Amino acid sequence: MRASGDTKTAKSRRTLKLPQRCVDALQALWVHLEATREDWQGDGLVFATRTGGRLSAGNVRREFRRVIARAGLVAAEWTPREMRHSFVSVLSDRGIPLESISRLVGHSGTGVTETVYRHQIRPVIDDGATAMDRIFTAVREPNGEP
């Protein structure tokens, strides 16, 4: 864990397109915030303190724990960083090539993405069963009999 400072370098900063459902949700949030915040002194930040200031790491962790608890999860077991691991794992489970995932999360190669971030969602046993089903299907007689 980084003790202080920004976790991103100038080289690692990039712009990623958001899924449309996220864009829609953020736009709705922005409209809501503009209508409900009276003492707003912000400079266009969607995720900000109550008065529009920049969030500290502590603010982010506290709000994240609040959301996690409302979702019925044990807040102490989750950190914002886990979302990064989940992102990688879900994309991998959906068949997105590891090279593409590595680029999305800003890794220069696939090694860290594969060994640190990608967690298997389905049990390993699933791979073996699927392979065996293919093998046994391939050796059936033309009439469907084994």
Tens of pLDDT, residue by residue over 45-56, are 777 887 788 888
Q: Which region among 2-6, 106-110, 124-128 has the lowest average model confidence (pLDDT)?
A: 2-6
3-state secondary structure the chain: CCCCCCCCCCCCCCCCCCCHHHHHHHHHHHHHHHHHCCCCCCCCCCCCCCCCCCCCHHHHHHHHHHHHHHCCCCHHHCCHHHHHHHHHHHHHHCCCCHHHHHHHHCCCCCHHHHHHHCCCCCCHHHHHHHHHHHHHHHCCCCCCCC
Tens of pLDDT, residue by residue over 88-111, are 888 888 888 989 989 888 888 888
Mean pLDDT of 66-90: 89
